[in-house]
Amino acid sequence: VDYDDLMLSLLKEAAKKMINTCNEYQKRHGKKTLFEVPEV
């Protein structure tokens, strides 16, 4: 496997995970912005 290909696939995986995490967060917190500090 080419090093560049490996990096690209890792980046794609990371991006997918990040997007999924953001979507889950937004569902749970009623579409608040990600930069809003949650009140504890």
Residue-level pLDDT at 6: 93
Give the residue ranges of DSSP H helices in 1-40. 3-28
Residue-level pLDDT at 20: 92
**pLDDT tens digits, 1-40:** 688 999 999 999 999 999 999 888 888 877 655 566 666 6
pTM attached to this predicted model: 0.55
Token pair for 36: 């809003």
Residue-level pLDDT at 31: 65
Residue-level pLDDT at 26: 82
